Every structure is written in C-alpha cells, then in structure tokens.
Amino acid sequence: MTVRFKGKAPSRRAFLKGTLASTAGAIAGAGAASAATPDPLITEKQSWAMGTGDGVDATPYGLPIQYEGDVIRRNVEWLTADTISSINFSPIHALDGTITPQGCAFERHHSGAIELKKEDYRLMINGLVDQELIFTYEDLERFPRVNKTFFLECAANTGMEWAGAQLNGAQFTHGMIHNMEYTGVSLRTLLEEAGLGKAGDLKDKWIYVEGADASSNGRSIPMEKALDDVMIAFKANGEALRKEHGYPVRLVVPGWEGNMWVKWLRRIEVTDQAVESREETSKYTDTLENGTSRKWTWVMDAKSVVTSPSPQSPIKHGHGPLVITGLAWSGRGAITRVDVSKDGGKTWETARLANPGQPMALTRFYLDTTWTGEEMLLQSRAMDETGYVQPTKHMLREVRGENSIYHNNCIQTWWVKANGEAENVEVS
Amino acid sequence: MTVRFKGKAPSRRAFLKGTLASTAGAIAGAGAASAATPDPLITEKQSWAMGTGDGVDATPYGLPIQYEGDVIRRNVEWLTADTISSINFSPIHALDGTITPQGCAFERHHSGAIELKKEDYRLMINGLVDQELIFTYEDLERFPRVNKTFFLECAANTGMEWAGAQLNGAQFTHGMIHNMEYTGVSLRTLLEEAGLGKAGDLKDKWIYVEGADASSNGRSIPMEKALDDVMIAFKANGEALRKEHGYPVRLVVPGWEGNMWVKWLRRIEVTDQAVESREETSKYTDTLENGTSRKWTWVMDAKSVVTSPSPQSPIKHGHGPLVITGLAWSGRGAITRVDVSKDGGKTWETARLANPGQPMALTRFYLDTTWTGEEMLLQSRAMDETGYVQPTKHMLREVRGENSIYHNNCIQTWWVKANGEAENVEVS
C-alpha cells in the first residue's frame, strides 16, 4: 500500500514533535505481501512517540512483559493425581527459533521440585570403580567443561494421542520438550576420575543414576552411552539450572528420553547389570498389542510438529502470505529435511530449515506460503541423517498397537478451517 | 580420594532408605583432580534423600532459585544521572556457556523502558522508497523469518577503563553485552517490499532508524549494511522480547555497536545522506588526543575477558585443578583463537574454545590448568577470522589517546592473589 498523508508529507522534524496527521491510506489492491493495513491508530490524538518509560532498575531479574502473560507453562489437570507428580508443558505454539527459555521450559517431576543448596550438594560415584568418590558442587566446577545445545523430550510426549486426537493444542500434544544450551562436565571425565579398571570389560557394564528427590527416579544407562556424550550439567542457557530443572546439577542424556535426564543428581553407580528399577519396568516401557512390553527404548526417534498455525495459534490475519512454522528433532542425529502437507499427507512441500540441523537439538522449519482461505489438513514430516522418516499414526499403530503411552513420534494433523481456527484431528 | 564408610559399605537398598552412615573419608594425598573432600554433611542426621519438594504449577513462568539471587543485572549508580537513562550490566562473571537469558541480559535505555502493545505497534518505512509502508506487528509475522544468534555490545562497554582500572568486576567492566538467538525478518525483505527503485544507486544511500520511546535514539546505517544482515527481530531466545529489550520489535545490527540496535523500532527512512543525529555526533563518536573525533566507528572489534576467576568470582577452592574461563567476540566475524596469560602478557597459552567460533556471536573459552597458589596477572587475548588480534591498553592509547569513552577493546588484567581474590589492575 501507499501511505498517504493529509496535505504534504510531514518533515522528520514535525514527525518527531508528534504532530503527525492521521493517515488516509487505503489498500491499493491485494498487492505485495501484507504491508497493506490502513491505520486508524495513527491519528492526531496519538503520536508514535511514547514518552518516557520506566527505568528497569527495579527489576534486576526481568520477567516477560504483561502482554505475554499467556506464554507460560501449562498443566493438564487430569494427567496426574497431584501437583507433587506433575507435568508442565512448554508453550511451543507461541515460541519461535529453537532455544526454550528456562522459565517456560517443560518440566516434569515425580515427587516435587526440591530446593537443594550448592553447599549441600554431593554427587557420589560408586560401584565397580577403582575409587569411590564424592564430589561437591565446587569439585565439579574444577573439571574441564563442555557446552552443547540439546533437546529434552519426555518419552510420554504425544502419548495421549495414541488413542486418537485428544488434546487441542501443540503445547499439550507436543510441549513435553525443551531445547537449551547446557554447560557442564562430561560424565566420561568423572568416570575416568573414579577409574573403570575394576569394571573390567566395559561392553556389558551399566551405570545406574538417581536423584536426590524422594522419587530418586533411578535409571540404568549402558556404559557405551555413559562414555559417549552424557553430561553432568550445572548451567542451562548460560545461567544456573532452575529449581524445577534440577538445580544445582542434572544429567543430560542427549537424544534419549527425558526421564533419564535425572534432576538433582546425587549418585552414579557402575554396575554389571541394569537395575530394572520402577522407572524402567512398570514405567517407561512400551506395552504392545499382545500385552508384552518393549523395554530399553531410550532413543527419541525423529519427530516434528507444526507450532503455528495450530489450535492455540490460529490464523488471525486475512488471506495472502502465511508463515507455517514448526519444530523438528531426532535423538539419532541431525534433522536433514522437513516436509509440510496441507492436505493430510497427500502432497508434500519441502520446508526451509532456519539453520542446518544440529545433532539432537531442535530444528526450526518454515514454509512461506499463500493462504486463500481454503481448509487445510496441516502436517509435518521430519527426516534425520540416518535416513529415518517420521511415520504416520497408522504406521505406528500397525507395529505397536494402541496400548502404548511412550514414544509416539507420529505425524500430527491440524485441521485449519476457513476462519483460521485449527483443531487437532486424525486422518486415516 | 577413597570414600570409606563406617563398617561395611551400605547396600543400595539401605542407602535409598536414607540410612547412610557418616563418611570417614580422608584425602589420600594430593591425588587425582579435585574429587577429594571429606564430607561432614553426610551424617546420620542428614541423608541425601530430600523428601518431596513443591509442585511448580504455581510458577507457570519460573524465576531462578532463591540461592541464585545475586546473579542479576546490576547498575553503576554514578554512570547516569537518573534511572530514566540507565545501564544494567549482565552478570557475566556468574554465567557460563554463551547464551544470555533475557531476564539478566544487559540493557541500556535513554528514556525509560516503554510498554508498547503489539496491537498498537506500527513500523513505517518511508523516504526514498517506491511505496511508503506501514506494518503492523501481524504484518511482520507474515514475512519469511530468520533465526540467528548474535552478541550485542554497547560501544561504551569497558569505556570507564580508558583512564585506568576503575570498576572491580567483569560485570561492570565488560557486562554491557549479551548474546541471544533472534527470530525476525531480514530488513532486506522489508526494504525490497517497499522498493528501492526510487533510491537509485544504493552505494551512497543510508537508512535512518528510530524507536518509539521519547529518546527516539535515531541512528544512520549505510545501505550496504542494511541490505546485508540487519534483522527486524521480535523474539529473543525463543520468546517475545522483554520490555527492556524493545518489545515488541527491535533492530538487530550484527557486530555493530549496541546503540544502533534500536528498540521499540517505529521508523526506517531511506535517505541520501546520514542524518548526523545526536546519537552519532555528540555521542557514540570517539574523541582523539588532538580533540577531533572519529565517527562512524560502528564495528565492535575483537575482544575478550576472563569471567572467572575475576573480582566477583574469586577462587574459593584450594590448590590444584582450576578452570579459567571467559568470553570472546568480534564484530568482524568468528573468533578463531583465544590466548590466556597468567603473567600479565609475558607468556601465553592457547585456550580451548568450547565450540568453533560463530560470526558475531559470543565464544566461550576455557583454560584447564593447575593453580598452586601463585599470584597471577590474568589476561585473555582474542583473535578473529580477519587476523585481527585484540590489543593491549597501551597500544590502544597510543593510537587514540585517553579521551575516548567508546570502543575500548583492550586486553583486561585481573590480579589474582594468593588467597584467590582478584582485583582489576592495569599492567604497563
């Protein structure tokens, strides 16, 4: 559009004085992109100069502005019996880029979020090690550090959707995920400090990790993974872990289910077998059609979801340019490609990755398209560097039946209606 | 050390019950690394199992745990006359990795931090364009988006140090910086939407950018940069910009001084000359020894600082392993190497970069070393992909004298004493 001013265009000087006259612009056709909105707000009553604002010295640690009050973690009340064992979902429908701020990053706790002071923190390494060790927080800070960005996804993410379209919003269907830059010490460094000579052949050895909260949340991890890329992390996105993310120290198990990323980490035992704890037998196993269960299904397979438009992020603007965006990730490596379908999987367009995929980290994708008001069955389909392609729900059910809770990485469908609103649906 | 238990080592079962007896471990020599602390805390009175914690559903947007209450932005009272024009420094001495959380990220405002609703937001592009345009916030969201991580450094960062060692702490000497992942629209996209045909030869053209706050903070930017990598950003680290970072829209000018990253961006004018505004004449120019001033010194040259140990982050542990860490950055591209000196620049060791340097983004470096209690004159020296080497303060003064405020990228020295405390000093 062309913006027209009453009379001649004001000089910059006049403009700065706040004397800008009301615009009388009109849309000059359905023209280029979307920059074509007549602007009733720019009137003689309202200049664009806002006057002075507050000094922000009173908020040495800032929170989001009041207008973003809906971009928060949310709970699904019926998912857990009590908030002592709760799940708080990331508002992925309202975020962009790849980093999740700690303040609104998904968190799940099994017996509350405990408050553990650095001074009181201890980490024990025991079991089949040459020297059993206890580390203080300060000890941990004296080992060589690494920095890496990884996604954490709960194995139960999208779990409610096995039975059909249940939860209406990307935050609830796919929000058990976050992506942060971790700083910490390689677990390999600490295990080598303790010495693994006593463990003998490492191929069939395990570690058992547990947290300092009442649940302990103990998990077994094969030694091969423990010596590969597991981290003892004390910072996320540059600052200390938040209480609900395991302050002061949590385990980071890249690409593997979030339950293994033990928070408030207090002990690592080197063992000659898996412990078969509650968290890896009655929970975090995948019951199949015939009643038997898969176990040791640690890796989070390639997955993606359109975050906008979506039920919590409807299309509010008119026809014309539309940005479709979402997230993709794989526990097996980097995302190499994401396709988007508008017709429930009949035809696909390859989306643009905002940046090249990084191993076991969220990848942002965009499809810059035009919407003329047609209904859409929006889907996204991720591919990773192993060649794996995200399956449909139908394909997944054929293999695993409908008894599962965990590891649902199927293609998600949003039905976008002519009015721009979207609904969680299932396509056959 | 070997951790010894009273009597025989408890079984895991006993341990989980919280019956762990007090440790009687003693340091078995100055041995391996630092995992050698007898542990008075693990007594019969205190088990490692913490019981249940709080559910965190009451904090849908979380803040740091109470124990991290000192990791906040801080002000230097005498730097500005009033908080309406204030500077709040990032606590870089306490951060690690590279991302700066928005909540504690450096911010400087010239006339307060204004509250501007998305619904009220307008961005005008005018001047030498084919069509003058006004964009709503929603309009901006309809253009193709980009994601990139960049540092923002205020031109005045380290400015107080021209005259000698002034401020005692990395937060105050070097904390006018942050590093965030931005999401937004390329300015080039919007300028092309408006059309630059009327501007003719773009080589000598400029844009003039200004904010919606009372200061307007107008700055001129050469068209070449405007069409290169400048972004119109609406998200930082995944979420909306905070109020103090320019909600809902700010300019991102990669590698260039922070004052040009106009917050609450309201207007971009395409011009045939620089405007020579207050912010680029009486301010943000560099007065030389002879009283003349350099202007258009936009790029932030390669720079680094040791963040720990430093005055606010003294060595609190004993002799032995010590991690020296810091940040490096360059407005001309990627950091390729950082050296660390312990003797005020006489000898240097090459530090380990946590990850390969990224263009115009913070790079974290580590020197994993041993400290035996000797005093140190700690320095770091950054090099970037252009071959530029961070200069000493002496070298900088030889060229620019001592009248400058801005663009002090000299090597910083911390005097680390035998007791682990550190002080800001100057070495000749």
> What's the gap in Å between the CA of B262 and the closest CA on chain A?
14
Q: Which residues face B265 on adjacent strands?
A: B211
- Name the DSSP class of B139: H
For residue B55, what pLDDT is reported? 65
Tell me how many degrees the CA angle B154-B158-B164 measures, rounded to the nearest 5. Answer: 160
Of B37, B61, B212, nearest to A103 by CB-CB distance is B61
Q: For testing the chain B interface, which of A12, A79, A271 should be mutated: the one with the most B CBs within 10 Å?
A: A12
> What's the gap in Å between the CA of A195 and the closest CA on chain B?
10
Last residue of a domain, one of A33, A50, A67: A50
Last residue of a domain, one of A294, A328, A356: A294
Does residue B56 belong to any structural domain of this protein? no
Q: For testing the chain A interface, which of B145, B196, B209, B324 should be mutated: the one with the most A CBs within 10 Å?
A: B145
**b/e A357-393 (16+ beta carbons within 10 angstroms → b):** bbbbbbbbbbbeeebeeeebbbbbbbbbeeebebbbb
Q: Which residues face B181 on adjacent strands?
A: B149
Cβ distance A61 to B66 less than 8 Å, yes or no, reads no
Q: For testing the chain A interface, which of B132, B249, B367 should be mutated: the one with the most A CBs within 10 Å?
A: B132
Residue A106: is its pLDDT beyond 90? yes
B85 contacts B79 by C-beta, under 8 angstroms: no
Please name the residue of chain B whose CA is at the shortest distance from the CA of residue A264: B50
Of A53, A117, A323, nearest to B67 by CB-CB distance is A117
Cβ distance B181 to A144 less than 8 Å, yes or no, reads no
For residue B201, what pLDDT is reported? 96
Q: For testing the chain A interface, which of B147, B151, B220 should be mutated: the one with the most A CBs within 10 Å?
A: B147
Flag the least confident range among A173-177, A344-348, A396-400, B135-139: A396-400
> What's the gap in Å between the CA of A162 and the closest CA on chain B?
26
Of B39, B63, B242, nearest to A134 by CB-CB distance is B39
Residue A53: is its pLDDT beyond 90? no
Q: What value does the mean pLDDT take over residues A95-102?
A: 98
Q: What is the CATH number of the domain that holds A323?
A: 2.60.40.650
Q: What value does the mean pLDDT take over residues B93-108?
A: 97
Task: Give the separation between CA B402 and CA B393, rounded to whole angstroms.
Answer: 10
Does one domain contain both B407 and B308? yes
Please name the residue of chain A whose CA is at the shortest distance from the CA of residue B107: A56
Does one domain contain both A358 and A211? no
Does residue A68 belong to any structural domain of this protein? no
The pair of structure tokens assigned to A339 is 């396709």
Does residue B317 belong to any structural domain of this protein? yes
Q: Tell me which chain B residues have a C-beta less than 8 angstroms from the C-beta of A234.
A: 96
For residue A2, what pLDDT is reported? 33
Q: What value does the mean pLDDT take over residues B76-86?
A: 84
Res. B97 pLDDT band, cuts 50 70 90: very high
Cβ distance B53 to A9 less than 8 Å, yes or no, reads no
For residue B76, what pLDDT is reported? 84
Task: Give the separation between CA B204 and CA B272, rounded to whole angstroms.
Answer: 7
In the sheet that A363-371 helps form, which strands lie side by side, from edge to edge? A303-308, A320-329, A363-371, A352-353
Residue B14: is its pLDDT beyond 50? no
Cβ distance A52 to B84 less than 8 Å, yes or no, reads yes
Q: Tell me which chain A residues have a C-beta less than 8 angstroms from the C-beta of B34.
A: 138-139, 142-143
Nearest residue to B365 (alpha-carbon basis) of B357, B354, B356, B375? B354
Q: Tell me which chain B residues have a C-beta less than 8 angstroms from the C-beta of A54.
A: 112-113, 115
Cβ distance B3 to A355 less than 8 Å, yes or no, reads no
Nearest residue to B378 (alpha-carbon basis) of B336, B416, B337? B416
Q: Which domain holds residue B242?
A: 102-158+178-292
Does residue A65 belong to any structural domain of this protein? no
Q: Tell me which chain B residues have a C-beta less than 8 angstroms from the C-beta of A118.
A: 67
For residue B404, what pLDDT is reported? 87
Does one domain contain both A227 and A319? no
Cβ distance A183 to B94 less than 8 Å, yes or no, reads no
For residue B80, what pLDDT is reported? 85
Q: What value does the mean pLDDT take over residues B339-344?
A: 98
Res. B49 pLDDT band, cuts 50 70 90: low
Does one domain contain both A247 and A339? no
Task: Give the separation between CA A253 and CA A246, rounded to whole angstroms.
Answer: 14
Cβ distance A63 to B63 less than 8 Å, yes or no, reads yes
Residue B325: is its pLDDT beyond 50? yes
Q: Which residues face A376 on adjacent strands?
A: A416
What is the SS3 assignment for A281-343?
Answer: CCCCCEECCCCCEECCCCECCCEEEEEECECCECCCCCCEEEEEEEEEECCCCCEEEEEEECE
A202 contacts A223 by C-beta, under 8 angstroms: yes
Cβ distance B57 to A83 less than 8 Å, yes or no, reads yes
Does one domain contain both A198 and A288? yes
Average pLDDT of chain B is 88
Does one domain contain both A128 and A256? yes
Does one domain contain both A175 and A249? yes
Task: Give the separation between CA B278 and CA B266, rounded to whole angstroms.
Answer: 18
Q: Tell me which chain A residues have a C-beta less than 8 angstroms from the C-beta of B62.
A: 73, 102-104, 242-244
For residue A48, what pLDDT is reported? 52
The pair of structure tokens assigned to B327 is 């940040």
Residue B313: is its pLDDT beyond 90? yes
Cβ distance B55 to A325 less than 8 Å, yes or no, reads no
Residue A57: is its pLDDT beyond 60? no
> What's the gap in Å between the CA of A124 and the closest CA on chain B?
9
Does residue B140 belong to any structural domain of this protein? yes
For residue B50, what pLDDT is reported? 66
Cβ distance A239 to B62 less than 8 Å, yes or no, reads no
> What's the gap in Å between the CA of B369 and the closest CA on chain A?
9
Residue A384: is its pLDDT beyond 90? yes
Q: What is the CATH number of the domain that holds B232?
A: 3.90.420.10
**Rounded to whole angstroms, what are the CA distances from A203 to A271, A309, B308?**
12, 47, 39
Does one domain contain both A290 and A313? no
Does residue B226 belong to any structural domain of this protein? yes
Q: What value does the mean pLDDT take over residues B10-27?
A: 29
Does one domain contain both A136 and A243? yes
Residue B19: is its pLDDT beyond 70? no
Nearest residue to A324 (alpha-carbon basis) of A345, A343, A344, A342? A342
Q: Residue A255 belongs to what H/E stretch?
A: none
3-state SS class at A68: helix
How many Å from the N-terminal Cα to the C-terminal Cα in chain A?
Answer: 43
Of A41, A57, A194, nearest to B120 by CB-CB distance is A41
Q: Specify the higher pLDDT residue, A56 or A109.
A: A109
Flag the least confident range among A161-165, A185-189, A258-262: A161-165
Q: Look up the ipTM and state it.
A: 0.90
Q: What is the pLDDT of residues B23-40, one digit of tens each?
A: 323 223 333 334 434 444
Q: What is the pLDDT of residues B196-235, one digit of tens each?
A: 999 999 999 999 999 999 999 999 999 999 999 999 999 9
> What's the gap in Å between the CA of A72 and the closest CA on chain B?
5
Q: Tell me which chain A residues have a C-beta less than 8 angstroms from the C-beta of B107.
A: 56
Average pLDDT of chain A is 88
The pair of structure tokens assigned to A301 is 């397979």
Q: What value does the mean pLDDT take over residues B374-399?
A: 97
Q: Tell me which chain A residues have a C-beta less than 8 angstroms from the C-beta of B104.
A: 60-62, 239
Task: Give the separation between CA A249 and CA A114, rounded to whole angstroms.
Answer: 12
For residue A42, what pLDDT is reported? 45
Task: Give the separation between CA A130 and CA A182, rounded to whole angstroms.
Answer: 29
Please name the residue of chain B whose CA is at the shortest distance from the CA of residue A69: B61
Q: Specify the higher pLDDT residue, A236 or A6.
A: A236
Quickly list DSSP for B248-295. Answer: T-EEE-TTB-GGGS-SSEEEEEEESS----GGGTTSS-EE-TTS-EE-
> What's the gap in Å between the CA of A228 and the closest CA on chain B?
17
The pair of structure tokens assigned to B34 is 């630092």
Cβ distance B53 to A213 less than 8 Å, yes or no, reads yes
Last residue of a domain, one of B246, B265, B292: B292
Of B41, B74, B355, nearest to A60 by CB-CB distance is B74
Q: Specify the higher pLDDT residue, A150 or A112.
A: A150
Tell me how many degrees the CA angle B17-B20-B26 measures, rounded to the nearest 5. Answer: 160
B267 contacts B123 by C-beta, under 8 angstroms: yes
Residue A324: is its pLDDT beyond 90? yes
Q: Tell me which chain A residues have a C-beta less than 8 angstroms from the C-beta of B182.
A: 97
Q: Which residues face A366 on adjacent strands?
A: A325, A352
Q: Tell me which chain B residues have a C-beta less than 8 angstroms from the C-beta of A126.
A: 3, 9
Q: Residue B91 belongs to what H/E stretch?
A: none
Cβ distance A112 to B55 less than 8 Å, yes or no, reads yes
Does one domain contain both A192 and A319? no
Cβ distance A109 to B41 less than 8 Å, yes or no, reads no
Cβ distance A237 to B101 less than 8 Å, yes or no, reads yes
Query: Residue type for A98, please?
Result: T
Rg value, chain B, Cα: 25
Of A120, A237, A354, nearest to B41 by CB-CB distance is A120
Cβ distance B212 to A237 less than 8 Å, yes or no, reads no
Q: What value does the mean pLDDT take over residues B112-128?
A: 95
Q: Specify the higher pLDDT residue, A278 or B49.
A: A278
Sign of the Cα pseudo-torsion (B168, B170, B174, B177, in order) = negative
**Rounded to whole angstroms, what are the CA distances from B134 to A150, B141, B193?**
39, 14, 11
Res. B4 pLDDT band, cuts 50 70 90: very low
Nearest residue to A226 (alpha-carbon basis) of A246, A201, A205, A197? A205
Number of compact structural domains in chain A: 3
B146 contacts A354 by C-beta, under 8 angstroms: yes
Please name the residue of chain A whose CA is at the shortest distance from the CA of residue B40: A120
Cβ distance B60 to A74 less than 8 Å, yes or no, reads yes
Cβ distance A53 to B213 less than 8 Å, yes or no, reads yes
Does one domain contain both B236 and B116? yes
Does one domain contain both A39 and A87? no
For residue B42, what pLDDT is reported? 45
Does residue B81 belong to any structural domain of this protein? no
Q: Tell me which chain A residues have a C-beta less than 8 angstroms from the C-beta of B136.
A: 37, 39
Does residue B208 belong to any structural domain of this protein? yes
Please name the residue of chain A whose CA is at the shortest distance from the CA of residue B130: A2
